[in-house]
């Protein structure tokens, strides 16, 4: 039997699952959970190797998806941020009857750049992998800083993310390394046309990890999806522009 992940559930209403990104944990959602719980039953999870699930250790991409599916509500809207968007998308592909609506935030079906596709340069991902071996806490902090670059409220955004993430146990180092491998290797582009549920894609125009060109390239891969761009946001629009973010989320979920 799969060991249980750490989940936190708040509020009443239709079910909404929130999945965090690399090196983070469910606490990163808390500021918007406080605004969402009046209308939704919000479920936040600490992925394997992260936060209160740190002791579960590393899990590869498919296992992470299966772990979340095994313990998520029977049917819910799923929202994934960054790497969490990959997990939510794969869950929707594997079990479409479980995912009523799919929302990805600052995410990409392929994070690593290659010819003709914008993304994180492979050398940057390799550098983070090497740095993990020397000082994984500093590496996570550097990644947090990279996420906020471009945001007009960068210092405040970084501080808020750090306070949330470091309020829970530190992530497992092997899980962090596996997460970087997922960001480097996973490519879901050719499967996106199979998604039968309504899809909303949210982006920060100033995002350095998921370039805005990805948002436009995705128009061809999922032509019937909804695209939302926050002009002054970087990689964490739900933190830097929480009111606008929640307005757009409500609008999509009410469709």
Lowest average pLDDT, out of 18-32, 58-72, 120-134, 220-234, goes to 120-134
Q: What is the pLDDT of residue 155?
A: 85
Please tell me whether 136 is known to bind a ligand. Answer: no
pLDDT tier for residue 98 given thresholds of 50, 70 and 90: very high
Evaluate whether residue 67 is within a structural domain. Answer: yes
Q: Residue 11 and residue 14: Cα distance in Å, rounded?
A: 9
Determine the pLDDT at residue 162.
85
- Domain housing 166: 6-253
Q: How many domains does the chain have?
A: 1
CA–centroid distance for 230 within its chain: 16
When pLDDT is averaged across residues 63-78 and rounded to a whole number, the result is 98
Position 166 scores a pLDDT of 87
Predicted confidence at residue 164, as pLDDT, reads 84
CATH code, 212: 3.40.50.1820
Residue 195 lies in a domain: yes
**pLDDT of 139 over the 50 cut:** yes
In this predicted structure, the answer to whether residue 1 has a pLDDT above a threshold of 60 is no
Query: Is position 126 annotated in a ligand binding site?
Result: no
Is residue 131 in some structural domain? yes
Q: Is 145 annotated as a binding residue?
A: yes
d(CA 242, CA 199) in angstroms, rounded, equals: 20
Q: Of all residues in the chain, what percent carry a pLDDT higher than 70? A: 99
Q: Which residues pair with 226 in a beta bridge?
A: 200
What is the distance between the alpha carbons of residues 18 and 101, in angstroms, rounded to a whole number? 12
Classify residue 22: in a domain, yes or no: yes
> Cβ atoms within 10 A of the Cβ of 2, count?
12
Higher pLDDT, 21 or 1: 21
Average pLDDT over residues 94-117: 97
**Burial, 53: exposed, middle or buried (Cβ in 10 Å; 0-12, 13-18, 19+)?**
buried
pLDDT of residue 71: 97
- Asked if residue 237 belongs to a domain, the reply is yes
Q: Give the predicted TM-score (pTM) of the model.
A: 0.94
Lowest mean pLDDT among 35-39, 170-174, 243-247: 170-174
Residue 29 annotated as lining a ligand binding site = no
Contact 176, 140 (CB under 8 A): yes
147 is in an annotated binding site: yes
The answer, yes or no, to whether residue 20 has pLDDT greater than 90, is: yes
pLDDT at 130: 86
Looking at residue 144, what is its pLDDT?
Answer: 78
SS3 226: strand
Average pLDDT over residues 94-106: 98
Residue 2: per-residue pLDDT: 60
How far from chain centre, in Å, is Cα 205?
A: 17
pLDDT of 232 higher than 80: yes
Calpha distance 198→254 (Å, rounded) = 11
Which pLDDT tens digit goes with each residue over 164-220?
888 999 899 899 999 999 999 999 999 999 999 999 999 999 998 999 999 999 999
Query: What separation in angstroms does the CA of 152 have from each of 27, 82, 142, 209, 248?
Result: 23, 20, 18, 16, 20
Residues 6 or more apart from 109 whose CB is under 8 A from it?
A: 86, 89, 187, 188, 189, 191, 192, 218, 221
DSSP 30-98: HHHHHHHTTTEEEEEEE-TTSGGGGGG----HHHHHHHHHHHS-SSEEEEEETHHHHHHHHHHHH-GGG
Sign of the dihedral through C-alpha 105, 109, 112, 113: negative
Does residue 1 fall inside a structural domain? no
Instruction: Compute φ and ψ for 201, nearest 5 degrees.
Output: -115, 125
Structural element, H or E, at residue 10: strand 6-10
Q: Is residue 180 part of a domain?
A: yes
Structure tokens at 16: 């909404």
Mean pLDDT, all residues of the chain: 93
Q: What is the pLDDT of residues 42-54, one digit of tens each?
A: 999 999 999 999 9
Does residue 211 form part of some domain?
yes
* Catalytic annotation, residues: 82, 207, 235
Q: Across residues 121-143, what is the average pLDDT? A: 83
Instruction: Report yes or no: 33 and 9 within 8 Å, Cβ to Cβ.
Output: no
């Amino acid at each position: 039997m799969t060991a249980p992940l750490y989940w936190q559930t708040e509020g009443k209403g239709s079910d909404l699952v929130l999945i965090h990104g690399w090196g983070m944990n469910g606490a990163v959602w808390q500021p918007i959970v406080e605004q969402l719980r009046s209308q939704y039953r919000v479920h936040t999870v600490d992925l394997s190797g992260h936060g209160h699930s740190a002791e579960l250790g590393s899990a590869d991409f498919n296992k992470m998806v299966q772990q979340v599916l095994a313990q998520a509500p029977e049917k819910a809207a799923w929202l994934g941020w960054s790497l969490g968007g990959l997990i939510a998308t794969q869950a929707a592909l594997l079990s479409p009857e479980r995912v009523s609506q799919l929302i990805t935030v600052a995410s990409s079906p392929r994070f690593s750049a290659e010819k003709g596709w914008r993304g994180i340069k492979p050398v940057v991902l390799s550098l983070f992998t090497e740095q993990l071996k020397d000082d994984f806490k500093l590496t996570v902090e550097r990644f947090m800083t990279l996420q906020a670059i471009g945001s007009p409220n960068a210092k405040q955004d970084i501080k808020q993310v750090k306070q949330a993430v470091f309020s829970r146990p530190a992530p497992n180092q092997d899980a962090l390394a596996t997460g970087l491998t997922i960001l480097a290797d996973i490519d879901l582009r050719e499967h996106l046309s199979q998604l039968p549920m309504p899809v909303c894609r949210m982006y920060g125009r100033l995002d350095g990890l998921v370039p805005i060109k990805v948002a436009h390239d995705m128009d061809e891969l999922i032509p019937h999806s909804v695209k939302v761009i926050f002009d002054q946001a970087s990689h964490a629009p739900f933190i830097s522009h929480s009111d606008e973010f929640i307005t757009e989320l409500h609008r999509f979920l009410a469709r």
